[in-house]
Amino acid sequence: MPQRRVRRAIFPAAGLGTRFLPITKAQPKEMLPLVDKPTIQYGVEEAIAAGIEQVIMVTGGGKRAIVDHFDRSLDLEFYLRERDRADLLQILAEVDALSDRVDLNYVQQRQPLGLGHAVWTARRLVEGEACAVLLADDVILGTVPVLKQLIDAHVETGATVLAVRRVAPDEVSRYGIVATGVRNGRLHEVLDTVEKPPLKEAPSDLAIFGRYVLTPEVLTALDSTDPGAGREIQLTDAIKSTIAGGRVVAVEFEGEYYDTGTIAGYLKSNLALALQRDDLREEMLAVIRELVSSAEVRA
Ligand code: G1P
């Protein structure tokens, strides 16, 4: 049996972030802060913790800030050293250390044709090996990184692996939804996938969250996947076409999910993460109580 490893992770990061306009007019949405770190950094940290050796960022125009964030800033280091700010230099060193632990590569998606197309853009860099895909909008924190949970399932089964979780009925049409067969603990056999179905057409309430391990067959299927939902080339459709030939499984993952893809979800994620920080909790609780009571007075 060939050794099953997953060394590479594709990070689609070419979206225009239109839900967040105007802040995303001249700034990538991946750089929006969660407390004091850009959203995409949580994803890179997760990939490293899952044993990924190479991150392939699929970017589009106007994403220079992502490249700069993971690069050294010699000017800033010089400025802080001159002022003896070892504390702040330490923060920069922590970001810098990420680039030491993983190779960061960038490929350009020259047209925004969908998630499937973004993954396909990175095909030459994954060289026929199973690879991970991480959607940085979906921040998932837990003891075992979700990507590690998926890679373990891939090593066990050799299959394409999807991260799934049950969602409320009013959320079903926002996600790719799976139909499942045989179940073994948290692992489900996948029988079908549907991208963003209306509730009444959804085969279950198990939704795909933004973590995948893809076998090379999925990348090959993307060569000939036609546009689907929203007239975009959908990763879900390419995965669906491999269910018969190869195998696809889903893992009901463990971890805290923070949806940063909508404005309300993003603001909630910031508050939730701030409340987990020892240096911010008390102050934030006081702020929240004050805001809630003044909103109640107005209502
Ligand atoms: C993408 C996928 C969808 C998945 C979702 C998870 O959709 O196409 O299948 O459920 O990510 O966040 P998007 O949210 O990019 O429209």
**Token pair for residue 189?**
């056999």
pTM of the model as a whole: 0.94
Q: What is the residue with the minimal CA distance to atom 10 of ligand 1?
A: 175
Atom of ligand 1 nearest to the CA of 229: 8
Question: Which tens digit of pLDDT belongs to each residue from 198-226?
Answer: 999 999 999 999 999 999 999 999 999 98
Residues 107 and 121 sit within 8 Å (Cβ to Cβ): yes
Question: Is 228 near ligand 1, meaning CB less than 6 Å away?
Answer: no
Kindly state if the Cβ of 208 falls inside 6 Å of ligand 1: yes
Q: Count CB atoms within 10 A of the CB of residue 221.
A: 22
Q: Is 233 in the pocket of ligand 1 (CB under 6 A)?
A: no
Tokens 């049996």 sit at which residue? 1
Q: Which amino acid is at 218?
A: V
Cα of 235 vs centre of ligand 1, distance in Å, is 9
135 touches ligand 1 (CB under 6 Å): yes
Choose among 244, 219, 230, 266: nearest CA to 19. 266
Domains of the chain: 8-261 (3.90.550.10), 262-299 (no CATH)
State which ligand 1 atom lies nearest to the alpha carbon of 207. Answer: 10
Cα of 280 to ligand 1 centre, how many Å? 32
Provide the pLDDT for residue 52: 97
pLDDT tens-digit profile of 72-114? Answer: 999 999 999 999 999 999 999 999 999 999 999 999 999 889 9
Q: Residue 251: phi, psi to the nearest 5?
A: -110, 125
pLDDT in tens, the chain (299 residues): 567 899 999 999 988 889 999 999 999 999 999 999 999 999 999 999 999 999 999 998 878 999 999 999 999 999 999 999 999 999 999 999 999 999 999 999 998 899 999 999 999 999 889 999 999 999 999 999 999 999 999 999 999 999 999 999 999 999 999 999 999 999 999 999 999 999 999 999 999 999 999 999 999 999 999 888 889 999 999 999 999 866 999 999 999 999 999 999 999 999 999 999 999 999 999 999 999 998 888 77
Residue of 29, 135, 166 with the most ligand 1 atoms within 8 Å of its CB, for mutation? 135
Q: Is any ligand 1 atom within 6 A of the Cβ of residue 259?
A: no
HEC secondary structure over the chain: CCCCCCCEEEEEECCCCHHHCCCCCCCCHHHCEECCEEHHHHHHHHHHHCCCCEEEEEECCCCHHHHHHHCCCHHHHHHHHHCCCHHHHHHHHHHHHHHHHCEEEEEECCCCCCHHHHHHHCHHHHCCCCEEEECCCEEEECCCCHHHHHHHHHHHHCCEEEEEEECCHHHHHHCEEEEEEEEECCEEEEEEEEECCCHHHCCCCEEEEEEEEECHHHHHHHCCCCCCHHHCCCHHHHHHCCCCCCCEEEEECCCEEEECCCHHHHHHHHHHHHHCCCCCHHHHHHHHHHHHHHHHHHC
Phi and psi, residue 171, nearest 5° = -105, -15
Considering all CA atoms of the chain, what is the largest pairwise distance in Å, rounded to the nearest integer? 67
